[in-house]
Structure 1
Amino acid sequence: MRLPPADRTTGPVTGYTRAHWEAAADALLAAVEPYATRDRALYHLPGDRSSWSGRLSDGLEGYARTLLLAAFRRDEKALERYADGLAAGVSGVWPRIEDRSQPLVEAASIALALRLTRELLWDRLDDGVRRRAAAWLGDALTAEPWPCNWELFPVTVGGFLAEVGHEPDASRAAVDRGLERIEQWYVGDGWYTDGDGRKFDYYNGWAMHLYPVLHAWLEGDEHLLDLYGGRLSRHLSDYARLFGGDGAPMHQGRSLTYRFATTAPLWLGALTGRTPLSPGETRRLASGALRYFLDRGAVDDRGLLSLGWHGPDESVLQGYSGPASPYWASKGFLGLLLPADHEVWTATEEPAPAERTDAVTPVGPPNWLLQSTRSDGVVRLHNHGSEDVRYDPYYTRLAYSTVTAPAPSHDNSVFVGDDPSRTGIEPLGTGEGWAASRHTAGGGARVTSVVLARGASEVRAHWVSGAEPGTPVRVTGWPAAEGVRAELLPAIGLDETLTGVTGENTTLFVALARLTAEENPVPLPDTVVVSGSGDGELTVRWDEGPEVRVRLDGSGVNVA
C-alpha cells in the first residue's frame, strides 16, 4: 500500500495525517474491485467460506462492508459502482433478510451507507430501484436478531427507512424496540454487555455505542444524543487506555480480525462532540492503530485485508468469519466524515495515555484493572469480570495485553488438578491498584483471585477451597512474545515449577509476575515483598510504595 511521506509536523508520533487515511481507504477500495461480480452486486473475495452462511451471503458481506468504506470516503466514482450493485442486488441477487441471518448484519451497513451519502447515491437512483431497495431492507424491520449487538441492526435500517418515508410507523417501531432492548445490557459508566451475561469487549465501541450515537446524530435528536453521547464520552475515558504505545489495541475478545475498527468510537466522539479526549490525542490513538496494522502485514500483496490479526491468523477467527469479514474494519474510517479543517485533522498529535505515565486504573463495570508503563508502552488488562465461554480463551484468561496473544497452553490461568477452566466468574471488586474475582475450576473447587499491580510488577494471589486435600494447583503467567520479557516467580505455597498442593482448608498460592519490554528491569523480587498468614491475610509491601493488606472473608476480599 502506497502512502504519502510521513508528516512529522502535526504527526510527530505516527507521521499520519488525513492524507494517509484517504490513501489507505482508496487503496483498500481499489484492491477489492477486481473481485466484484459483473453486475457489482457481490464481492467474492478469496478465502474460505464462513461456516455460518453460504457463498451468496459472503458475497453480500463483501459488497456491504466495502460500501461502508466508500460512504465514509464519500468517493462519488466508487459510489456509482456500488449504485449499480445495489440495483442488481435488490432485483433478485441478494439473499433475503431472515431471522438471525447474516444478511441482517449487512443490511445495517448498507442502510447506514445510504443514509450517510443520501444525496450522492440514494437520491440519484430511479424510483423503481429505490422501491425494491426499501422493500429488501424492510425485512430487517421484523427479522428477529440474535439477543446481542444484533438488536441494533434493525435500529440502523429503521432509521434510514423512516427518513426516506418507507413504512414510517414500522421503521420507527423497529428503532424504538432495538434501543429499548439494549437498555437491559447497559451496566453504567459507559459500558454495555454484549447480550446477557458478562461479555465485555470491543463490541462496546464498534456496535453498542456506534449505532445508537450515529442514529441520534443523524436524526438531529439532541435528547438522544445527550443520552447515548454521554455514555460514549464516559466510555472513552476507559477505552483510550486500551491502546499500547505502539498503537496496538488490546488483544482480548472476539472478532479481532476487524482490527482498526477499534478506532471507530474515537472518531465518533470527535464527530459528535461527545469525547473527553483532545483532538491531538484522538488522532494519535486512531492513527497509531491504523499504522500498527498496516506496518505489520494486515494487508497482503493483493492489497486485501486477510483473516487474522497482523497477517493471516486462524486463532482470532469465529465460525461466522468469512473472506470479507475483516472489512468491518471500514468502521475505522469514520473519521473521514470530519471535514479536512476539523481540529482533529489539524491539531498536533498528543501522547496517548500509555505514553504519558505509569498508571494502574480500575474499570468498574467489567471489573478490570488496566496496567500501563510509559517506559515500554505496554498495556496489560487484568480480567476479573468478563466471561464468554463460547469464545474462550479470549474472555476467560486472567490477563491480556497489547503485546501478547492467548496461548493454547493456557497462559494466565490456574490449574486445579489438571483442569485450567475458569467458569462462573464472580467479580469481587476493583480499586486503586487491585482487582478480585471468584470462579469455579477443577470439578467444583472455588478459586478466589486477587491481582495487585504497581509499575510493571504484579502480585497474583489465589485462595483455593473445596478441593480434595493434596490436589495439585499450578499457576501460569504471561505467554512468550517477541520483544518482551515474561516472568513468573513463586512466592507463597508454590515450588519452582509454580505448583503447590491444597491443604485441609482454604489454601493460599501467590506468585509474582511481570511483562515488560524494558531491556534491564530491576529484578522482580526487588520490587515487592509478600507475606501470608494462615488466617487468609496477605501483606504486600511495594518498594518505595504503600503496604497493602488483603484479607479473605466470607463475602469476598477486603483490600486496605
Structure 2
Amino acid sequence: MQPKNITINNRLESRDDLQKLVNELLNAVSPFFKKDASRVDLANFTAHYGQQIANMETFSRLLWGVTPLLAGGSEPEQFSFYIQAIKNGTNPEHADYWGEVAPFDQRIVEMAAYGLMLAIAHKPLLAHFNEQEKQHLWQWLRQSENQDIPDNNWHFFPILVQVGFHRCGMPNNTDALETHFAAMEQYYLGDGWYSDGPGRPRDYYISMGFHFYGLIYAKLMADVDPERCNKLRERAALFAADFIHFFADDGAAIPFGRSLTYRFAQGAFWSAAAFAGLEVFEPGVVKGIVLRHLRWWLQQPLFDRDGVLSVGYSYPNLVMAEDYNAPGSPYWGLKTVLVLALGQDDAFWQAQELPLPPGDAHHSIPHAAQILVHQPNHLWMLTSGQLELNNFVNTEAKYCKFAYSTRYGFTIERGRYGLNHAAPDSMLLLSEKDDYWRGRRDCQNVTTADGMIYSRWLPWNDVTIDTWLLPLGDWQVRVHSLKTERELDCAEGGFSLPNRPLPEAQMAKACCQLTSVTDTSAIYCLSPQPRNGDQVLTPPNSNLLFAERAAVPLLKGELSKGTHLLISAVWAGDSAVFDANTRPQAMVSEGVVRLVMGKLETQIMLNKLP
C-alpha cells in the first residue's frame, strides 16, 4: 500500500528534493500533534521506558529533521507547534513538563537533539523564547551533565548539550566535557574504531553514534578545542576508509546488529562527514552514498498508510524490535538529513553525484572482526566475535551469524524448537537429537588475519568448535573443527531466499541449491564428514528484508562423540551467473585443510590456532 503524504518516487537529486522529503516526513506526523502538549503519541505499543517518555522521544527525534531545515534557512510547516512544545516540556510549572531525569534515563538520549538545535539553529529558535523560557530550557538540559548513564555512546549526549550551550551563549560546563570524553577514550580500539563501551560490539553505533557526534563536535568546537577536534577528524577519516565498504552500489547498507529500525541512520556518518568538511573522499562520492542510500530506503515498504515510519527494517515488523524501540524511535533516521544544514553553495550540493570508488573485492577490518565481500550485485560480510552483552531480543541472529547480506538480509529466531524457527541461515546449529537448536553465541578467541576470521566457540561446555571463515572469489568457505562429548544433530545454512515465487530446490548428498528466476542460494559440503542437502522454510516476518517466508538451503548430519571436521562452501547471487563447477575444492591431510578455487589457494593449519 502506497503511503499518503510521502513521495516515494522522489528522485532525491537536489537539495530541494531532500528538503521536500523531510517536510513530508514531518507533516505525516503532524496529525498526531496535540494542542498544548509536548509529546507525540503515534501508536498503542511502547518501550521499556513507558508511554509518556516514548511520546516525548517521538517529538524529540523529529527535531533531527527540523534543525537542519532551520539551519539551512527554512522552517517546517508546524514550526509554531515545535516551539510551544519545547517551552511546555521544559517548564516545571506546565502540566506536560518532561520532568526530572533519573539515572540511565531515556530522556538524556533525546537531549542531544536539543543540543544540536541550540548549536546550529539557536537564532531562529530562541528568537521566540523570552528570558525565563530560555532559563527553563537551559535548566532542564543541564540535568544531563553529571547523571549516571550507560558506559557507551551515551557519553556523547551530554557533550552535544554542552556544545549547544557554548554555541548559543548559555553557561556551559567544560568539566562535564572532559569527563565524558575521558570515559569514551577507554574503548577506542585504533584505526578509527571504537567499541560501543567496554567489551561491546562494533556495529552501526560506531558510525551513527561516535563518529556522527564526533564530527559535529569537530566542526563546531574547533575554535575552543582544536587538538581534540583534529583527533576526532583524523579518527573519522580512518573509519571512513573501512565504512565505505558497508554500502552497495545501489545504496543498500548491510543489515547487522541492533537498532536496525533506525534504518537510514546507517548513512548518517556520511552526512556528518559532509557537514564537517571531512576531506576523505570527493564531495561527489559522499553525496552519492547519502542520496543513493535514501533512495534505496524510499523503495522499501517502511511506512504505514499514513506515511508514518513503522518499527521494523524494510517493512513493519515488531518481531525484530528491541525493548527500547518505541513508535517514534525510527525517526532517529533523520540524522542523515544533516546535510540540509549546508547551503546550496556548499561543495556537497554543488558536486556531481559520483559512484563508489573502485576497491578490492575483499576488505578486512580486524578491529571489527569483519571481512566485506563485493560480489557483483551482492555485498556481504563475514564476521565473528561480536555479542551484545545486554542480550537484547535476537542478539545471536543480529550479531553472531557467519555472514550478513544487503541482498538477502538475515532471519531472526522465532523459537528454539524446530529448525524453521531457529534462524538457520548463515549459521551452524546443533541439537542433542531433540530438535532444540543452538548455535554460535559468545566466542572465546577471535583473530582476523590472512584474509580469514578464526573464532572458537562452545555451544555447550563439553563441545568446542574452531571456525575459520574466508572468502574465495565470490564463494564463502567455512571450516569447523569440532570436538564433542555428546551425540548431536547438526544443520548448517546458506543465505535465505524469498519464498515467493517458490524457489526450485535441488537437494542431494552433500549439497542444496535453491533457484528462483533471479536468485540462487547454494551450500555444498566439501569435507569427508557426510552431510545431506535439505531446505527449511522460516515463518513469515522472520527475514528482515522480505515479509514472506524465507527458504534456506541446508546441510544436515549427525555427529557422534569425538572429533569432526565440517567444511562447506556457500554462494548466493544472480542465477544467470551461478556456476556450481567453480566451487572451491578441499583437500585434507595431516591437520591441514587446503582450499583451492581456480588459481586461488589457501591453507588452514587445524593444529596451529591463531
Q: Normalising by the residue count of structure 1, what TM-score does the alignment of the two structures yield?
A: 0.90
Is the Cα–Cα contact under 8 Å of residues 408 and 497 in structure 2 kept in the other structure? yes
Aligned to 1:10: none
- The reply to whether residue 524 of structure 1 matches residue 542 of structure 2 is no
Q: Distance in 2 between matches of 1:502 and 1:277?
A: 51
Change (3 A) 1:35 1:324: same
Q: Which piece of structure 1 moves more, 447-456 or 321-330?
A: 447-456
Change (3 A) 1:307 1:6: closer
- State the Cα deviation string for residues 117-148 of structure 1 (Å, max 9, x = none): 01111254100000111111111112111121
1:324: Cα distance to partner? 0.7
Change (3 A) 1:522 1:30: closer
Aligned to 1:20: 17
Q: What is the 5 A alignment of 1:191-210?
A: 191-210=193-212
Change (3 A) 1:123 1:230: farther
Amino acid at match of 1:536: G
Aligned to 1:425, the other structure's residue is in SS state: coil
RMSD over aligned CA atoms reads 2.2
- State the Cα deviation string for residues 483-503 of structure 1 (Å, max 9, x = none): 532111111023224234556
Q: Distance in 2 between matches of 1:427 and 1:266?
A: 33
- The reply to whether residue 326 of structure 1 matches residue 330 of structure 2 is yes
Amino acid at match of 1:420: R
Aligned to 1:490: 525
Aligned to 1:508, the other structure's residue is in SS state: strand
Aligned to 1:16, the other structure's residue is in SS state: coil
Matched-pair identity in %:
24
Change (3 A) 1:17 1:47: farther
Q: Distance in 1 between matches of 2:86 and 2:557?
A: 63
1:432: Cα distance to partner? 4.8
Amino acid at match of 1:440: L
Amino acid at match of 1:530: A
Q: Distance in 2 between matches of 1:255 and 1:364?
A: 23
Is the Cα–Cα contact under 8 Å of residues 9 and 298 in structure 2 kept in the other structure? no
- The reply to whether residue 255 of structure 1 matches residue 255 of structure 2 is no
- State the Cα deviation string for residues 84-115 of structure 1 (Å, max 9, x = none): 11111112321322211111111111222222
1:447: Cα distance to partner? 1.2
Gaps of 5+ in 1: 8-14
Tell me which of 239, 242, 245 is aligned to 2:246: 242
Is the Cα–Cα contact under 8 Å of residues 39 and 85 in structure 1 kept in the other structure? yes
Gaps of 5+ in 2: 414-422, 500-517, 534-554
Amino acid at match of 2:242: D
Aligned to 1:120, the other structure's residue is in SS state: helix
- State the Cα deviation string for residues 490-543 of structure 1 (Å, max 9, x = none): 110232242345567542110110121x1322423423211112x321101122
1:423: Cα distance to partner? 3.0
Is the Cα–Cα contact under 8 Å of residues 6 and 307 in structure 2 kept in the other structure? no
Is the Cα–Cα contact under 8 Å of residues 198 and 366 in structure 1 kept in the other structure? no
Q: Distance in 1 between matches of 2:59 and 2:558?
A: 57
1:187: Cα distance to partner? 0.7
Q: What is the 5 A alignment of 1:302-313?
A: 302-313=306-317
- The reply to whether residue 55 of structure 1 matches residue 110 of structure 2 is no
Q: Distance in 2 between matches of 1:471 and 1:286?
A: 47
Aligned to 1:513, the other structure's residue is in SS state: strand
- State the Cα deviation string for residues 441-497 of structure 1 (Å, max 9, x = none): 1344221111221332111111112x1275444322222237532111111023224
- State the Cα deviation string for residues 289-331 of structure 1 (Å, max 9, x = none): 1111111122332121111112211243111111110110110
1:437: Cα distance to partner? 1.5
Aligned to 2:556: 499
Q: Distance in 2 between matches of 1:399 and 1:428?
A: 15
Q: Distance in 2 between matches of 1:443 and 1:36?
A: 54
Q: Distance in 2 between matches of 1:284 and 1:485?
A: 29
Aligned to 1:337: 341
Is the Cα–Cα contact under 8 Å of residues 489 and 556 in structure 2 kept in the other structure? yes
Tell me which of 263, 288, 293 is aligned to 1:289: 293
Aligned to 2:122, the other structure's residue is in SS state: coil
- The reply to whether residue 481 of structure 1 matches residue 498 of structure 2 is yes
Is the Cα–Cα contact under 8 Å of residues 371 and 379 in structure 1 kept in the other structure? yes
Is the Cα–Cα contact under 8 Å of residues 439 and 446 in structure 1 kept in the other structure? yes
Q: Normalising by the residue count of structure 2, what TM-score does the alignment of the two structures yield?
A: 0.83
Q: What is the 5 A alignment of 1:48-447?
A: 48-50=45-47, 52-74=48-70, 75-76=74-75, 78-92=78-92, 93-164=97-168, 166-168=170-172, 171-220=173-222, 221-352=225-356, 356=358, 359-373=361-375, 375-376=376-377, 378-388=378-388, 390=391, 391-407=395-411, 408=413, 409-418=423-432, 419-447=437-465
Q: Distance in 2 between matches of 1:181 and 1:80?
A: 38
Aligned to 1:550: 604
- State the Cα deviation string for residues 386-441 of structure 1 (Å, max 9, x = none): 22251231011111111223323232122243442323314542245322222121
1:357: Cα distance to partner? 6.1
Change (3 A) 1:464 1:29: same
Q: Distance in 1 between matches of 2:98 and 2:9?
A: 41
Aligned to 1:536: 591
Q: Distance in 1 between matches of 2:530 and 2:491?
A: 8
